[in-house]
Amino acid sequence: MKIQLIQPPKSSNDNSRSGCYPPLGLLSIATHCHQKFPEAQIEVLDGEFLTLESILERLKPKSFVGVETKLHNYHNAIRIAKKAKQIGGTVILGGVFASKMASLIAKKQPTTIDYIIRGYGEERFVQILANQTGTINGMPIIYPYADPEFNSLLMPNRRFVQMRKYLARFKQSYPDWQATGTNIITIQGCKNCPRCLFCDRQSPKCYFRQPQKVWEEIQYLQLDYGVDYVVAFDDDILQDLNWLKQLVEAKPKGCRVRWHVFVSAAKINDQSVQLLKALGVVHVFIGVETADVELASTIGKADFNPTQCHQAITQLNRAGIAITPSFVFGLPGENESSLEKTLRLAQALKAETDYNEVNCSCLIPYPGSRAFARLARFEPELQDTDDLDASNLTRRWFERFCLVSYEMARNYSRQILALAPYRITLDRQN
Protein backbone atom coordinates (compact mmCIF):
# COMPACT_ATOMS: atom_id res chain seq x y z
CA MET A 1 0.00 0.00 0.00
CA LYS A 2 1.34 3.42 -1.01
CA ILE A 3 0.20 6.54 0.83
CA GLN A 4 1.20 10.10 -0.14
CA LEU A 5 0.10 12.96 2.09
CA ILE A 6 0.50 16.37 0.49
CA GLN A 7 0.41 20.02 1.52
CA PRO A 8 0.23 21.85 -1.84
CA PRO A 9 2.20 25.05 -2.40
CA LYS A 10 0.29 28.26 -1.71
CA SER A 11 -0.50 30.66 -4.51
CA SER A 12 1.14 33.39 -2.39
CA ASN A 13 3.98 32.72 0.04
CA ASP A 14 5.47 35.92 1.42
CA ASN A 15 5.67 35.09 5.13
CA SER A 16 8.78 35.00 7.27
CA ARG A 17 7.51 31.74 8.78
CA SER A 18 7.34 29.88 5.42
CA GLY A 19 9.03 26.50 5.65
CA CYS A 20 9.61 26.82 9.39
CA TYR A 21 6.99 24.35 10.60
CA PRO A 22 6.14 20.81 9.45
CA PRO A 23 2.47 20.09 8.61
CA LEU A 24 1.42 18.49 11.89
CA GLY A 25 -2.03 17.47 10.65
CA LEU A 26 -0.53 15.39 7.86
CA LEU A 27 2.13 14.00 10.20
CA SER A 28 -0.60 12.93 12.62
CA ILE A 29 -2.44 11.11 9.82
CA ALA A 30 0.82 9.50 8.69
CA THR A 31 1.55 8.35 12.24
CA HIS A 32 -1.93 6.90 12.64
CA CYS A 33 -1.75 5.11 9.28
CA HIS A 34 1.63 3.63 10.16
CA GLN A 35 0.23 2.37 13.46
CA LYS A 36 -2.62 0.59 11.67
CA PHE A 37 -0.71 -0.47 8.53
CA PRO A 38 2.97 -0.83 9.47
CA GLU A 39 3.95 -2.24 6.07
CA ALA A 40 2.54 0.70 4.13
CA GLN A 41 4.88 3.02 2.22
CA ILE A 42 4.06 6.47 3.60
CA GLU A 43 5.40 9.75 2.25
CA VAL A 44 4.69 13.36 3.30
CA LEU A 45 5.26 16.02 0.62
CA ASP A 46 5.30 19.65 1.74
CA GLY A 47 4.71 22.49 -0.70
CA GLU A 48 6.51 24.82 1.69
CA PHE A 49 9.71 23.24 0.30
CA LEU A 50 8.62 21.53 -2.94
CA THR A 51 7.32 23.20 -6.09
CA LEU A 52 4.06 22.08 -7.65
CA GLU A 53 5.99 20.58 -10.56
CA SER A 54 8.18 18.57 -8.18
CA ILE A 55 5.15 17.21 -6.33
CA LEU A 56 3.45 16.23 -9.59
CA GLU A 57 6.58 14.37 -10.68
CA ARG A 58 6.77 12.48 -7.38
CA LEU A 59 3.21 11.15 -7.46
CA LYS A 60 3.21 7.37 -7.53
CA PRO A 61 0.75 5.24 -9.53
CA LYS A 62 -2.11 3.63 -7.61
CA SER A 63 -1.37 5.50 -4.38
CA PHE A 64 -3.76 6.76 -1.76
CA VAL A 65 -3.19 10.50 -2.10
CA GLY A 66 -4.33 12.71 0.78
CA VAL A 67 -4.33 16.44 -0.01
CA GLU A 68 -4.70 19.15 2.64
CA THR A 69 -6.58 22.19 1.35
CA LYS A 70 -6.67 25.87 2.21
CA LEU A 71 -8.09 28.76 0.20
CA HIS A 72 -4.57 29.74 -0.85
CA ASN A 73 -3.58 26.30 -2.15
CA TYR A 74 -6.83 24.83 -3.46
CA HIS A 75 -6.08 25.49 -7.13
CA ASN A 76 -2.82 23.57 -6.81
CA ALA A 77 -4.57 20.87 -4.78
CA ILE A 78 -6.91 20.17 -7.70
CA ARG A 79 -4.00 19.97 -10.13
CA ILE A 80 -2.39 17.40 -7.87
CA ALA A 81 -5.65 15.48 -7.53
CA LYS A 82 -6.17 15.33 -11.31
CA LYS A 83 -2.65 14.02 -11.91
CA ALA A 84 -3.07 11.42 -9.15
CA LYS A 85 -6.32 10.19 -10.71
CA GLN A 86 -4.69 9.96 -14.15
CA ILE A 87 -2.17 7.46 -12.78
CA GLY A 88 -4.71 5.35 -10.94
CA GLY A 89 -4.62 6.99 -7.52
CA THR A 90 -7.34 7.29 -4.92
CA VAL A 91 -7.73 10.95 -3.95
CA ILE A 92 -8.77 12.03 -0.45
CA LEU A 93 -9.30 15.74 0.17
CA GLY A 94 -9.22 17.29 3.64
CA GLY A 95 -8.34 20.48 5.46
CA VAL A 96 -10.18 23.67 6.34
CA PHE A 97 -11.23 24.58 2.79
CA ALA A 98 -12.54 21.13 1.88
CA SER A 99 -14.38 20.94 5.19
CA LYS A 100 -16.28 24.12 4.44
CA MET A 101 -16.78 23.51 0.71
CA ALA A 102 -17.32 19.73 0.65
CA SER A 103 -20.69 19.61 -1.13
CA LEU A 104 -19.68 22.14 -3.76
CA ILE A 105 -16.32 20.45 -4.38
CA ALA A 106 -18.12 17.12 -4.83
CA LYS A 107 -20.44 18.75 -7.36
CA LYS A 108 -17.66 20.50 -9.29
CA GLN A 109 -15.00 17.77 -9.12
CA PRO A 110 -16.94 14.48 -9.32
CA THR A 111 -14.32 12.66 -11.39
CA THR A 112 -11.30 14.13 -9.59
CA ILE A 113 -12.01 13.40 -5.92
CA ASP A 114 -12.92 10.06 -4.33
CA TYR A 115 -13.37 11.11 -0.71
CA ILE A 116 -13.71 14.36 1.22
CA ILE A 117 -12.96 14.33 4.94
CA ARG A 118 -14.53 17.11 6.99
CA GLY A 119 -12.84 17.95 10.28
CA TYR A 120 -10.05 15.81 11.68
CA GLY A 121 -8.81 13.05 9.46
CA GLU A 122 -6.86 10.37 11.31
CA GLU A 123 -9.65 7.83 11.88
CA ARG A 124 -11.45 8.70 8.64
CA PHE A 125 -8.31 8.15 6.58
CA VAL A 126 -7.72 4.74 8.11
CA GLN A 127 -11.36 3.80 7.43
CA ILE A 128 -10.83 4.61 3.77
CA LEU A 129 -7.69 2.49 3.61
CA ALA A 130 -9.41 -0.44 5.31
CA ASN A 131 -12.80 -0.27 3.60
CA GLN A 132 -12.32 1.34 0.21
CA THR A 133 -15.72 1.60 -1.46
CA GLY A 134 -15.10 4.18 -4.17
CA THR A 135 -17.55 6.84 -5.21
CA ILE A 136 -21.31 6.50 -4.84
CA ASN A 137 -23.39 7.22 -7.94
CA GLY A 138 -20.37 8.89 -9.51
CA MET A 139 -19.96 11.38 -6.64
CA PRO A 140 -17.22 11.60 -3.98
CA ILE A 141 -18.01 10.21 -0.55
CA ILE A 142 -18.19 13.01 2.03
CA TYR A 143 -17.41 12.12 5.63
CA PRO A 144 -19.14 14.15 8.37
CA TYR A 145 -17.18 16.33 10.76
CA ALA A 146 -14.91 14.44 13.12
CA ASP A 147 -13.48 15.73 16.40
CA PRO A 148 -9.78 15.49 17.31
CA GLU A 149 -9.02 12.33 19.27
CA PHE A 150 -6.34 13.92 21.43
CA ASN A 151 -6.46 11.28 24.13
CA SER A 152 -6.02 8.27 21.83
CA LEU A 153 -3.69 9.44 19.07
CA LEU A 154 0.06 9.09 19.16
CA MET A 155 2.16 12.23 18.98
CA PRO A 156 2.98 13.17 15.35
CA ASN A 157 6.09 11.36 14.19
CA ARG A 158 8.43 13.99 12.72
CA ARG A 159 10.52 11.31 11.01
CA PHE A 160 8.12 11.33 8.08
CA VAL A 161 9.73 14.65 7.07
CA GLN A 162 13.26 16.01 7.06
CA MET A 163 12.86 17.74 10.38
CA ARG A 164 16.33 19.27 10.28
CA LYS A 165 15.30 21.32 7.22
CA TYR A 166 12.47 22.95 9.18
CA LEU A 167 14.72 23.67 12.15
CA ALA A 168 17.36 25.18 9.87
CA ARG A 169 14.74 27.34 8.14
CA PHE A 170 13.47 28.55 11.51
CA LYS A 171 16.96 29.65 12.55
CA GLN A 172 17.54 31.26 9.16
CA SER A 173 14.19 33.08 9.25
CA TYR A 174 14.43 34.25 12.89
CA PRO A 175 18.13 34.72 13.66
CA ASP A 176 17.47 37.25 16.45
CA TRP A 177 15.47 34.71 18.44
CA GLN A 178 18.52 32.45 18.84
CA ALA A 179 16.29 29.41 19.08
CA THR A 180 15.81 25.90 17.79
CA GLY A 181 12.09 26.17 17.26
CA THR A 182 9.17 24.16 15.97
CA ASN A 183 5.40 23.91 16.29
CA ILE A 184 3.13 21.84 18.52
CA ILE A 185 -0.63 21.59 19.06
CA THR A 186 -2.18 21.94 22.51
CA ILE A 187 -5.74 23.20 21.84
CA GLN A 188 -8.17 22.99 18.95
CA GLY A 189 -11.31 25.10 18.64
CA CYS A 190 -12.46 28.51 19.80
CA LYS A 191 -15.30 29.38 22.14
CA ASN A 192 -15.95 32.58 20.20
CA CYS A 193 -16.67 30.66 17.00
CA PRO A 194 -18.65 31.34 14.82
CA ARG A 195 -19.14 34.97 15.89
CA CYS A 196 -15.93 36.40 14.37
CA LEU A 197 -16.46 38.21 11.08
CA PHE A 198 -13.46 36.86 9.22
CA CYS A 199 -12.66 33.55 10.92
CA ASP A 200 -13.28 30.20 9.21
CA ARG A 201 -12.50 27.89 12.13
CA GLN A 202 -14.07 24.48 12.01
CA SER A 203 -15.73 24.21 15.40
CA PRO A 204 -16.95 26.31 18.34
CA LYS A 205 -16.03 23.39 20.59
CA CYS A 206 -12.68 23.41 22.38
CA TYR A 207 -10.51 20.35 22.74
CA PHE A 208 -7.59 20.37 25.16
CA ARG A 209 -4.72 17.91 25.09
CA GLN A 210 -3.80 16.25 28.32
CA PRO A 211 -0.97 18.31 29.87
CA GLN A 212 1.17 15.21 30.38
CA LYS A 213 0.98 14.40 26.66
CA VAL A 214 2.02 17.95 25.78
CA TRP A 215 5.11 17.73 27.94
CA GLU A 216 5.97 14.25 26.67
CA GLU A 217 6.01 15.64 23.14
CA ILE A 218 8.15 18.61 24.16
CA GLN A 219 10.65 16.35 25.91
CA TYR A 220 10.80 14.16 22.80
CA LEU A 221 11.49 17.24 20.66
CA GLN A 222 14.18 18.38 23.06
CA LEU A 223 15.88 14.98 23.18
CA ASP A 224 15.73 14.11 19.47
CA TYR A 225 16.10 17.54 17.89
CA GLY A 226 17.42 19.94 20.52
CA VAL A 227 14.26 22.04 20.41
CA ASP A 228 14.19 24.84 22.99
CA TYR A 229 11.39 27.00 21.53
CA VAL A 230 7.86 25.78 20.79
CA VAL A 231 5.19 27.67 18.85
CA ALA A 232 1.64 26.63 19.75
CA PHE A 233 -0.48 27.29 16.66
CA ASP A 234 -3.67 27.07 18.66
CA ASP A 235 -6.53 29.39 19.26
CA ASP A 236 -6.33 31.49 22.43
CA ILE A 237 -4.31 29.51 24.98
CA LEU A 238 -6.10 31.47 27.73
CA GLN A 239 -9.54 30.05 26.89
CA ASP A 240 -9.50 27.83 29.98
CA LEU A 241 -7.27 29.04 32.79
CA ASN A 242 -7.88 25.85 34.79
CA TRP A 243 -6.40 23.79 31.95
CA LEU A 244 -3.51 26.24 31.60
CA LYS A 245 -2.85 25.96 35.31
CA GLN A 246 -2.74 22.16 34.99
CA LEU A 247 -0.31 22.53 32.08
CA VAL A 248 1.95 24.72 34.22
CA GLU A 249 1.75 22.33 37.17
CA ALA A 250 2.65 19.36 34.94
CA LYS A 251 5.80 21.05 33.67
CA PRO A 252 8.76 18.70 34.28
CA LYS A 253 11.42 19.97 36.63
CA GLY A 254 14.39 21.39 34.80
CA CYS A 255 12.51 21.72 31.51
CA ARG A 256 13.84 24.87 29.88
CA VAL A 257 11.71 25.50 26.83
CA ARG A 258 10.42 28.86 25.67
CA TRP A 259 6.85 29.20 24.41
CA HIS A 260 5.32 31.31 21.66
CA VAL A 261 1.51 31.33 21.95
CA PHE A 262 -1.65 33.02 20.70
CA VAL A 263 -3.71 35.04 23.18
CA SER A 264 -6.81 37.21 23.26
CA ALA A 265 -6.45 40.69 24.71
CA ALA A 266 -9.68 40.22 26.67
CA LYS A 267 -8.07 37.45 28.73
CA ILE A 268 -4.94 39.37 29.76
CA ASN A 269 -4.90 40.11 33.50
CA ASP A 270 -2.58 39.57 36.45
CA GLN A 271 -3.54 35.90 36.84
CA SER A 272 -3.18 34.99 33.16
CA VAL A 273 0.13 36.84 32.79
CA GLN A 274 1.46 35.03 35.85
CA LEU A 275 0.49 31.68 34.31
CA LEU A 276 2.07 32.60 30.99
CA LYS A 277 5.31 33.47 32.74
CA ALA A 278 5.25 30.25 34.75
CA LEU A 279 4.73 28.23 31.58
CA GLY A 280 7.76 29.85 29.99
CA VAL A 281 6.00 32.10 27.48
CA VAL A 282 8.34 34.68 25.99
CA HIS A 283 6.32 35.73 22.96
CA VAL A 284 2.61 36.11 22.17
CA PHE A 285 0.68 36.65 18.96
CA ILE A 286 -2.19 39.03 19.73
CA GLY A 287 -4.98 40.31 17.52
CA VAL A 288 -5.06 44.11 17.62
CA GLU A 289 -6.96 44.28 14.31
CA THR A 290 -7.85 48.01 14.20
CA ALA A 291 -7.50 51.27 16.10
CA ASP A 292 -10.99 52.43 15.17
CA VAL A 293 -13.58 51.80 17.89
CA GLU A 294 -16.57 51.64 15.55
CA LEU A 295 -14.85 49.20 13.20
CA ALA A 296 -13.76 47.03 16.13
CA SER A 297 -17.41 46.54 17.05
CA THR A 298 -18.04 44.83 13.68
CA ILE A 299 -15.55 42.01 14.27
CA GLY A 300 -17.74 39.93 16.56
CA LYS A 301 -15.24 39.36 19.35
CA ALA A 302 -16.82 39.74 22.76
CA ASP A 303 -15.82 42.93 24.62
CA PHE A 304 -13.20 43.70 21.97
CA ASN A 305 -11.86 47.25 21.62
CA PRO A 306 -8.56 48.98 20.75
CA THR A 307 -8.07 50.42 24.24
CA GLN A 308 -8.29 46.95 25.75
CA CYS A 309 -5.71 45.67 23.26
CA HIS A 310 -3.32 48.48 24.03
CA GLN A 311 -3.63 47.90 27.77
CA ALA A 312 -3.07 44.17 27.35
CA ILE A 313 0.06 44.73 25.28
CA THR A 314 1.38 47.22 27.83
CA GLN A 315 0.88 44.65 30.60
CA LEU A 316 2.60 41.92 28.58
CA ASN A 317 5.49 44.23 27.77
CA ARG A 318 5.98 45.08 31.45
CA ALA A 319 6.11 41.36 32.18
CA GLY A 320 8.91 40.93 29.65
CA ILE A 321 6.78 39.08 27.09
CA ALA A 322 7.38 40.08 23.46
CA ILE A 323 4.48 40.52 21.05
CA THR A 324 3.52 39.92 17.45
CA PRO A 325 0.64 42.38 16.90
CA SER A 326 -1.84 41.43 14.20
CA PHE A 327 -3.76 44.00 12.14
CA VAL A 328 -6.47 43.68 9.51
CA PHE A 329 -7.65 46.28 7.02
CA GLY A 330 -11.05 46.07 5.40
CA LEU A 331 -13.52 45.85 8.26
CA PRO A 332 -16.98 47.09 7.21
CA GLY A 333 -16.86 50.86 6.85
CA GLU A 334 -13.04 51.08 6.60
CA ASN A 335 -12.11 54.63 5.59
CA GLU A 336 -9.04 56.83 5.25
CA SER A 337 -9.31 58.00 8.84
CA SER A 338 -9.47 54.47 10.22
CA LEU A 339 -6.54 53.37 8.06
CA GLU A 340 -4.48 56.23 9.46
CA LYS A 341 -5.52 55.52 13.06
CA THR A 342 -4.44 51.88 12.75
CA LEU A 343 -1.10 52.81 11.21
CA ARG A 344 -0.47 55.29 14.04
CA LEU A 345 -1.33 52.62 16.62
CA ALA A 346 1.06 50.17 14.99
CA GLN A 347 3.78 52.82 15.08
CA ALA A 348 3.04 53.63 18.72
CA LEU A 349 3.21 49.96 19.72
CA LYS A 350 6.50 49.66 17.87
CA ALA A 351 7.89 52.58 19.85
CA GLU A 352 6.66 51.09 23.13
CA THR A 353 7.57 47.42 22.65
CA ASP A 354 10.03 47.34 19.72
CA TYR A 355 8.26 44.24 18.36
CA ASN A 356 10.30 42.39 15.75
CA GLU A 357 7.45 40.44 14.13
CA VAL A 358 4.15 41.81 12.81
CA ASN A 359 1.12 40.39 11.02
CA CYS A 360 -0.95 42.57 8.69
CA SER A 361 -3.31 41.68 5.85
CA CYS A 362 -6.39 42.96 4.11
CA LEU A 363 -9.54 41.13 5.10
CA ILE A 364 -10.12 37.90 3.18
CA PRO A 365 -13.75 36.67 3.27
CA TYR A 366 -12.89 33.00 3.75
CA PRO A 367 -15.57 30.47 2.83
CA GLY A 368 -17.27 29.47 6.06
CA SER A 369 -16.86 32.91 7.63
CA ARG A 370 -19.59 35.46 8.28
CA ALA A 371 -17.79 37.78 5.86
CA PHE A 372 -18.09 35.30 3.00
CA ALA A 373 -21.77 34.73 3.71
CA ARG A 374 -22.32 38.48 3.72
CA LEU A 375 -20.52 38.96 0.41
CA ALA A 376 -22.31 36.01 -1.18
CA ARG A 377 -25.68 37.57 -0.40
CA PHE A 378 -24.76 40.33 -2.86
CA GLU A 379 -22.84 38.08 -5.24
CA PRO A 380 -24.58 34.68 -5.12
CA GLU A 381 -22.43 33.28 -7.96
CA LEU A 382 -19.66 32.89 -5.35
CA GLN A 383 -21.64 30.01 -3.89
CA ASP A 384 -21.41 28.10 -7.17
CA THR A 385 -17.66 27.96 -7.66
CA ASP A 386 -15.04 25.98 -5.76
CA ASP A 387 -11.96 27.62 -7.31
CA LEU A 388 -11.92 30.95 -5.48
CA ASP A 389 -9.09 33.47 -5.60
CA ALA A 390 -8.26 35.18 -2.30
CA SER A 391 -7.22 38.50 -3.85
CA ASN A 392 -10.35 38.62 -5.98
CA LEU A 393 -12.53 37.91 -2.95
CA THR A 394 -10.82 40.69 -1.01
CA ARG A 395 -11.15 43.15 -3.87
CA ARG A 396 -14.86 42.42 -4.18
CA TRP A 397 -15.28 42.75 -0.42
CA PHE A 398 -13.67 46.21 -0.44
CA GLU A 399 -15.88 47.33 -3.30
CA ARG A 400 -19.01 46.30 -1.38
CA PHE A 401 -18.25 47.18 2.23
CA CYS A 402 -15.39 49.66 2.48
CA LEU A 403 -15.01 53.38 1.77
CA VAL A 404 -11.43 53.01 0.54
CA SER A 405 -9.92 50.97 -2.28
CA TYR A 406 -8.15 47.66 -1.86
CA GLU A 407 -5.00 49.29 -3.30
CA MET A 408 -5.02 52.02 -0.64
CA ALA A 409 -5.47 49.48 2.14
CA ARG A 410 -2.63 47.36 0.73
CA ASN A 411 -0.38 50.42 0.83
CA TYR A 412 -1.15 50.90 4.53
CA SER A 413 -0.58 47.18 5.10
CA ARG A 414 2.88 47.45 3.53
CA GLN A 415 3.70 50.39 5.81
CA ILE A 416 2.84 48.35 8.90
CA LEU A 417 4.75 45.31 7.64
CA ALA A 418 7.80 47.54 7.15
CA LEU A 419 7.88 48.26 10.89
CA ALA A 420 9.39 44.86 11.74
CA PRO A 421 12.07 42.62 10.23
CA TYR A 422 9.83 39.55 10.45
CA ARG A 423 6.48 39.91 8.75
CA ILE A 424 3.43 37.73 8.18
CA THR A 425 0.84 38.51 5.54
CA LEU A 426 -1.63 36.81 3.24
CA ASP A 427 -1.67 39.74 0.82
CA ARG A 428 0.14 39.28 -2.44
CA GLN A 429 2.97 41.77 -2.23
CA ASN A 430 3.71 42.05 -5.96
Instruction: Please write down the HEC assignment for all residues of the chain.
Output: CEEEEEECCCCCCCCCCCCCCCCHHHHHHHHHHHHHCCCCEEEEEECCCCCHHHHHHHCCCCCEEEEECCCCCHHHHHHHHHHHHHCCCEEEEECHHHHHHHHHHHHHCCCCCCEEEEECCHHHHHHHHHCCCCCECCECEEEEEECCCCCCCCCCCHHHCCHHHHHHHHHHHCHHHCCCEEEECCEECCCCCCCCCCCCCCCCCCEECCHHHHHHHHHHHHHHHCCCEEEECCCCCCCCHHHHHHHHHCCCCCCCCEEEEEECHHHCCHHHHHHHHHHCEEEEEEEEECCCHHHHCCCCCCCCCHHHHHHHHHHHHHCCCEEEEEEEECCCCCCHHHHHHHHHHHHHHHHHHCCCEEEEEECCCCCCCHHHHHHHHHCHHHHHCCCCCHHHHHHHHHHHHCCCCHHHHHHHHHHHHCCCCEEECCCCCC
Mean pLDDT check: name the lowest of 140-144, 175-179, 400-404.
Answer: 140-144
pLDDT tens digits, one per residue of 105-138: 999 999 999 999 998 999 999 999 998 655 556 7
pLDDT tens digits, one per residue of 41-79: 999 999 999 999 999 999 999 999 999 999 999 999 999
Per-residue pLDDT averaged across 367-388, rounded?
95
Structure confidence at residue 373 (pLDDT): 94
Q: Is pLDDT of 14 > 70?
A: no
pLDDT tens digits, one per residue of 294-309: 999 999 876 788 999 9
Which domains does the chain possess? Answer: 2-146 (3.40.50.2300), 174-424 (3.20.20.70)
Is the pTM above the cut of 0.85?
Answer: yes
pLDDT tens digits, one per residue of 82-101: 999 999 999 999 999 999 99
